């Protein structure tokens, strides 16, 4: 369970559990209080979420760099990209709504974890690769109560 703005809801976390020493590729969810930066959504699958967060439509060329030695590490990029990057426009529904969490972004340290998102869970709530994931019907309800002052507390 995760608590966000007084709401408790079931979630999926990284297959390696929660860590205080996040590293790229460790499959763990980083412990901490992570501000919600913005929301991305698939406009061909879901409506624009109602939220106080900045919201952007995902397009097929959107990616997020996960190459620790790249100058755009843990930042959005346009695909194809010469370094390793997570594809945001996915065939599964996990990124139909995805919230960028403020993990390892100010400052961004090479190898300390990238692509830490709050996104849609798999139907069986299978573990993530390090993100936090909620049911597709829960996400829009939670986002209605979120703003730039909202943070996700993971402990």
Instruction: Collapse the DSSP code of 81 into the 3-class scheme (helix H, G, I; strand E, B; otherwise coil) and give the result.
Output: coil
Comparing 3-12, 53-62, 121-130, 136-145, the range with the smallest average pLDDT is 3-12
Q: What letter does residue 128 receive in the DSSP assignment?
A: B
pLDDT of 24 > 70? The answer is yes
Tokens, residue 93: 């529904």
Residue 3: predicted pLDDT: 66
Contact 12, 125 (CB under 8 A): yes
Tokens, residue 136: 């597709």
Distances (CA, A) of 14 to 17, 54, 130, 144: 5, 26, 4, 25
Query: What is the residue-averaged pLDDT of the chain?
Result: 95
Q: Kindly report the pTM of this predicted structure.
A: 0.96
* pLDDT digits 0-9 by tens, 69-107: 999 999 999 999 999 999 999 999 999 999 999 999 999
Residue 97: predicted pLDDT: 98
Sequence spans of domains, the chain: 2-154
């Amino acid at each position: 369970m995760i608590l966000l703005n007084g709401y408790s809801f079931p979630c999926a976390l990284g297959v390696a559990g929660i860590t205080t020493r996040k590293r790229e590729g460790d499959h763990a969810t980083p412990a901490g209080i992570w501000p919600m930066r913005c929301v991305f959504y698939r406009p061909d699958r879901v409506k624009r979420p109602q939220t106080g967060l900045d919201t952007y439509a995902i397009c097929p060329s959107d990616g997020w760099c996960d190459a620790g030695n790249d100058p755009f590490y843990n930042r959005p990029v346009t695909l194809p990209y010469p370094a390793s990057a997570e594809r945001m426009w996915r065939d599964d529904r996990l990124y139909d709504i995805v919230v960028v969490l403020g993990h390892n972004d100010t400052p961004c340290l090479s190898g300390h974890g990238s692509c830490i998102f709050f996104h849609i869970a798999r139907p069986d709530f299978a573990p993530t690769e390090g993100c936090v994931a909620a049911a597709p019907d829960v996400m829009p309800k939670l986002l209605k109560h979120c703003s730039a002052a909202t943070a996700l507390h993971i402990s």
